[in-house]
Chains A and B, each alone.
Chain A
Amino acid sequence: MTNSMNEVINNVKNIASQVVINEIDEREIKLELNEKEVINVLSYLKGNGFSHLSLMTVVDWIAENKFEIVYILFSWETGNKIIVSTKIDRKEAKFVTIKHLWPTARFYEREIHEFFGIEFKGNDDMKPLFLEIWDDIPPLRKDFDPLEYSKKKFPDREYEKDVIHEAKIIRGDING
């Protein structure tokens, strides 16, 4: 762990009451925070070198009934990377926007809204980004069944079973 990282971690511990720290390697750590404190931590990190939002995404923990919102921040000065994550309730799929911190988050939030059905308070632009005329539950939720949807919407070709071909394989005339 580099010195600058240690300093950042200490400061985060002061800001947030609960934080789980996972050291992934020399230049990469993951901070798991609670819902209320994550925005404070993000704005602190943004002001202290981690100005680049590399990615914002969501993991669906269906057994726990949680959505994990993940922000990946990068520092151009030190090359360090911090993954900030928080878990929200899956039923009450709502969170606050970080559009005011990183304007690009607007598009990540649109995408997440579309694929996981999470609302972002403060982001009024929740139009679909990729899907067109979508008519089912958001497709990246774990309880969505893509195969069934595909069968319903995009019928497949019916193949007839070639019995003679199979018999030849069984008899050893040709290699299967």
Chain B
Amino acid sequence: MDERGIWEKIADKLRSKSLWMLHYCTGCGAMELPPTMTSRFDMERFGMGPMATPRQADILFITGYLNTKTLRRVIYTYEKMADPKYVIGFGSCTLNGGIYYDSYGTINKLDYYLPVDLYIAGCMPRPEALLEAFNELMRMIRNGEANGWKKYKENYEWYKNNQLRSLGEVYVHDEFHE
């Protein structure tokens, strides 16, 4: 990757210390989040907290399976987030479809559609694995390795084509959006 300026390095250092996480919890793996957030493991001591809206969040945290319907909403959400933004795929469903690999609705591989900075393997991973991943992500941000958001811009065509192949179109048409 290209050389970062000194200000960028400082900014990255600061960014890694204050991360707001938007969690898209469609899968069963979301069950491991409450203990990670609450007093048992207490995520906030690392400088991370949950965030309710995409525009204020840094991390898009996707737990488990996404189907075509939810993927559309996730793409909307991701594109709404401000740069720099990071994506964590949690659980084997985001990696390779997991136990839903042959489903008519479940996508098999999240990084065809969105740039994933970090995967957490397992079905489902324990809170320790989650914390480990957050630490790793912080390290990546400090070293300027978490560049998914740049990759998304550079390879936008490729991502868009993948999205269109699986979804038909990305626009959401339903009773609630019309």
Contacts and interface: CB of A to CB of B under 8 A. Distances in A.
A150 B102 CA distance: 6
A136 B168 CA distance: 13
Contacts of B165: 153
Contacts of A61: none
Most chain B beta carbons < 10 A, residue from A132, A136, A147: A132
B169 A147 contact: no
Contacts, number: 52
Nearest to B68: A132
Contact of B108 (A127, A131, A144, A150): A150
A110 to B, nearest CB: 11
A154 B106 CA distance: 8
Given A130-B69, A132-B68, A156-B96, A150 B103 contact: yes
Contact of A146 (B95, B103, B112): B103
Majority SS of interface residues in chain B?
Answer: loop
Nearest to B69: A132
Contact of A133 (B97, B107, B169): B169
A157 B95 contact: yes
A132 B72 contact: yes
B167 A133 contact: yes
A154 B108 contact: yes
A156 B108 CA distance: 6
B176 interface: no
B112 A144 contact: no
Interface size class of B (residues with CB under 8 A): 20 to 34
Majority SS of interface residues in chain A?
Answer: loop
Interface in B161-178: 165-169, 172-175
Interface string A136-152: 10010000101101100
Given A132-B72, A132-B174, A153 B101 contact: no
A97 to B, nearest CB: 20
Contacts of A149: 104
A146 B167 contact: no
Contacts of B112: 155
Given A132-B69, A155-B112, A147 B168 contact: no
Q: Shortest 7 CB-CB distances between A and B: which pairs?
A: A133-B168, A147-B102, A154-B108, A146-B104, A139-B104, A156-B108, A154-B107
Interface of A: 127, 130-133, 135-136, 139, 144, 146-147, 149-150, 153-157
